[in-house]
Amino acid sequence: MKAPAGVVTLKTPEQIAIMRRAGRVVAEMLRATREAVRPGISTAELDAIATKVLARSGARSNFLHYGQPPYPAVICTSVNDEIVHGIPTKKRVLREGDIVGIDAGAIIDGWHADAAITVPVGRVSPEAARLIEVTEQALRAGIAQTRPGKRLGDVGAAIQSLAESSGYSVVRQYGGHGIGRQMHEDGPFVPNWGDADRGLPIREGLTVAIEPMINIGGWDTRLLPDGWTVVTADGSLSAHFEHTVAVLRDGPEILTVPG
Ligand code: MG
């Protein structure tokens, strides 16, 4: 998301318990769509699979009709140089060697969860496979810092140092976000870069979506005329992983995991 930092609301254990249920639905949306990824499938078919998971889980979509122009699907599918917010269509058929970012969200009883993975389509180049691996590692490194006593700068610094030491760049125009009663809360903004020991102190009850977007080339982005799809300005490959995380007294809990 793209937003300045605003009011940060801490959640109770009861509220986090509902977000955990929403997180399980998101994990199932990602599991089902990941399993379906293969050369020849369209991104609209992946969206249909995710829609069925929402329906049978009794959950609502937080992506559908979001924003302006109203977002038309329940997942985002971002292929190759598309960083985030790619719109699923019947025309976008995945091909051997592509990589596809799948971003999914769900609402249960008014509480939101949001997560993303990047998946290889068939056999991909070693360069693409390494980008996916490093981006997922960067998310894990960021989550490990998301604990009481740390600051948001520690999260961003961990992600940035892993990405840049691998020769990649971190997208700067977008980052993670507070999440709870809304998918994108007013605060905090969670940058995927920064200085250790700086920024908002992390406290018990904080719930954030952490989502590194990492490019093989430069970090600059461009918005396509559909008003949603964000691509790398230089056409290089990009990967994206995301989890919704709750800060408990003794450390982070990833909410977007299977039950
Ligand atoms: Mg997000």
Q: pLDDT per residue over 9-47, tens digit each?
A: 999 999 999 999 999 999 999 999 999 999 999 999 999
pLDDT per position as a tens digit, 62-101? 999 999 999 999 999 999 999 999 999 999 999 999 999 9
- Give the domain CATH number at 117: 3.90.230.10
Residue 188 Cα to ligand 1 midpoint, Å, equals 12
Q: What pLDDT was estimated at residue 116? A: 99
Distance CA 218, CA 178 (A): 27
Provide the pLDDT for residue 252: 98
Range of the structural domain that residue 189 is part of: 13-254
- Taking the centre of ligand 1 as the mean of its atom positions, its distance from the CA of residue 64, in whole angstroms, is 14
Residue 232, classed as helix, strand or coil, is: strand
- H helix intervals, the chain: 13-36, 43-57, 126-144, 152-165
What pairs with residue 247 in β-bridges? Answer: 252
Chain-wide mean pLDDT for the chain? 97
User: 12-28 in b/e burial notation, b at 16+ Cβ within 10 A?
Assistant: eeebbebbbbbbbbbbb
Instruction: Tell me what the mean pLDDT of segment 163-190 comes to.
Output: 97
Domain assignment present for residue 1? The answer is no
Asked if residue 1 has pLDDT above 60, the reply is no
Residue 3 has pLDDT above 60, yes or no: no
Q: Does a structural domain hold residue 17?
A: yes
Quick one: angle between helices 13-36 and 43-57, nearest 10?
Answer: 140
Q: 181 in a domain, yes or no?
A: yes
| Overall average pLDDT of the 215-224 stretch | 98
State the pLDDT at residue 61. Answer: 98
CA 183 – ligand 1 centroid, Å:
7
pLDDT at position 6 is: 78
Ligand 1 centre to CA of 176 (Å) is 6
What's the CA-to-centroid distance between 131 and ligand 1, angstroms?
20
Q: Is the pLDDT of residue 2 over 90?
A: no
Is position 3 within any domain? no
4 in a domain, yes or no? no
What percent of the chain has pLDDT above 90?
Answer: 97
- Measured in Å, residue 20 CA sits from the centre of ligand 1 at 16
Tally of structural domains, the chain: 1
In contact, 94 and 244? CB cutoff 8 Å = no
Sequence letter at residue 116? A
In this prediction, residue 232 carries a pLDDT of 98
Return the pLDDT at 5: 55
Protein residues within 5 Å, CB atom, of ion ligand 1: 114, 209
- Which residues sit opposite 151 in a β-bridge? 201
> Quick check: 46 and 36 in contact, CB under 8 A?
yes
